[in-house]
A = this chain, B = another copy of it.
Amino acid sequence: MAKVLTTKEENYSQWYNDLVTKADLAENSAVRGCMVIKPYGYAIWEKIQAQLDKMFKDTGHVNAYFPLFIPKSFFSKEAAHVDGFAKECAVVTHYRLKNDPDGKGVVVDPDAKLEEELIIRPTSETIIWSTYKNWIQSYRDLPILCNQWANVVRWEMRTRMFLRTTEFLWQEGHTAHETSEEALAETTQMINVYASFAEDFMAIPVIKGAKSANERFAGALETYTIEALMQDGKALQSGTSHFLGQNFAKAFDVQFANRNGKLDYVWASSWGVSTRLIGALIMAHSDNNGLVLPPKLAPFQVVIVPIYKNAEQLAEISVKVEQIMVKLRLRGISVKYDNRDSQRPGWKFAEYELKGVPVRLAIGPRDLENGSIEVARRDTLAKSVEQLENIDQVVADLLDSIQENIYNKAYQFRAENMTKVDSYDQFKELLVTKGGFFLAHWDGTTETELRIKDETKATLRCIPFDSVEEEGKCMVTGKPSKQRVIFALAY
């Protein structure tokens, strides 16, 4: 098979687009900014969903479903929220079409105009808090710990598959609490859940931290984030968890009788991750041969390719392969046997390399004689011949090793691309020549943050939770600072 991908070095952005389409993850649709998630890409999303859903339930959450539509007036109720979300969104104004009186086709029926326009949810705080009002009377009704798996729409001007699309799939948690402390603890718990998921399942190291006031979610008092570093040196915000204070409770008048019998407004958090995670997965690990998937999220972890000259050989091989598959499946390993006669082994090898299948097994007549099998790992492309006898143990160990190795590789890459800078000139130079995360002192003002963004396009990714206190001076203004924060170019 000829090389199908533009290389990263040639054109990173084109490499990404090639990979998404050639590996059958997604493609652009007939609707501007909306993608079709193809079965192979959707299978990764299903793996992500299943694991996250388990983690949400293990921490006491339940799923529910709220309407796609939000009355326009709801957006005006929370002052900060309206500025952040009620702008670029899809607006439903009519509820009927009719046959075009002047010819073929259909036209919007002008008589079917809605009294109040409906907005396709860009996020659901408003519709959910208007609902919670009916659910909450007393502290006994709290906490409410709901999550929703849903589609949302934000009318983006520049879109890229998975990273930024007009419609995308996500989950949004919306919780209601008696106290500020409880809501903050929930906000922290969920950013920790996201970080564990990113590191343990996606094999992507992330930095946990707080957003600056300027980068906070519209309507939040605190936004916590996990920030991942992509191979082109840019940051990708991969999940956020918001402490909303009493803002939405006040906007929708959600009060409860507290333990002292007094009325108080309810405290809130919200948190979400989206199909953007698949973009992170692609950009963190893949290479010029295609995807590299972490075994824990691969739609199938092992592919077996038979090498044969005739039907008789194939039949013999298939008997052995059946036995191998049984052994692998008993260990919970997912495996696909590609015995299609329409493609050659070499074509299949390239295909599964492109699709990032973690382990490839190839078996031919000589292997049957020798009781051996060829094992190839996708991450390093290394091959070895192994005994068939313990193949299930070998593959299980190899999958663990691959999961660990791609995490370590990503961790190593981030370590090499996390730079302490102490002068603005040095920052500006290295931002262009090296990229990555920059640890710098900042005076804490939005003014300075915006100046940096304006002059360099770099944004303040987060104030890391684990940053050590250290006296320093803002790299731009020289004003005093107590800790370093992270700047980077970002998606």
Residues of A within 8 A of B (CB): 27, 29-31, 34-39, 42-43, 45-46, 62-76, 82, 86-98, 104-106, 108, 117-120, 127, 130-131, 134, 140, 146, 150-151, 153, 155, 167, 169, 342
Contact = CB atoms under 8 A, between A and B. Distances in A.
B34 A167 contact: no
Contacts of A66: 29, 36
Contacts of A134: 27
A101 B153 CA distance: 25
A485 B118 CA distance: 43
Contact of A87 (B76, B97, B117): B97
A416 to B, nearest CB: 36
B97 A118 contact: no
A163 to B, nearest CB: 16
B63 A76 contact: no
A43 B68 contact: no
A195 to B, nearest CB: 26
Contacts of A104: 76
A37 B62 contact: no
Nearest to A134: B27
A42 B63 contact: yes
Contacts of A140: 342
Contacts of A76: 104-106
Given A31-B71, A71-B31, A118-B31, A64 B90 contact: no
Contacts of A93: 91-94, 108
Contact of A31 (B69, B86, B342): B69
A97 B119 contact: yes
B73 A105 contact: yes
The copy count of this chain in the complex is 2
Given A36-B64, A39-B146, A63-B42, A90 B95 contact: yes
A141 to B, nearest CB: 11
Given A31-B67, A89-B95, A91-B96, 4 more contacts: A29-B67, A39-B63, A39-B146, A68-B120
Given A69-B34, A75-B97, A105-B73, A29 B131 contact: yes
A94 B113 CA distance: 13
Contacts of A88: 95-96
A63 B151 CA distance: 16
Contacts of A75: 97, 106
12 contacts: A30-B67, A30-B71, A31-B127, A36-B64, A39-B64, A42-B63, A43-B63, A68-B153, A73-B105, A92-B92, A92-B120, A120-B120
Contact of A91 (B30, B89, B95, B127): B95
Nearest to A98: B87
A127 B71 CA distance: 27
A152 B39 CA distance: 20
Contacts of A46: 63
A72 B36 contact: no
A131 to B, nearest CB: 5
A91 B90 contact: no
A125 to B, nearest CB: 13
Contacts of A105: 72-73, 76
A76 B150 CA distance: 29
A29 B66 CA distance: 8
A475 B402 CA distance: 71
A155 B96 contact: yes
A385 B70 CA distance: 52
B97 A34 contact: no
Contact of A70 (B31, B68, B117): B31
Which of A43, A68, A153 lies at the interface centre, i.e. has the most chain B CB atoms within 10 A of its CB?
Answer: A68
Contacts of A151: 68, 150-151
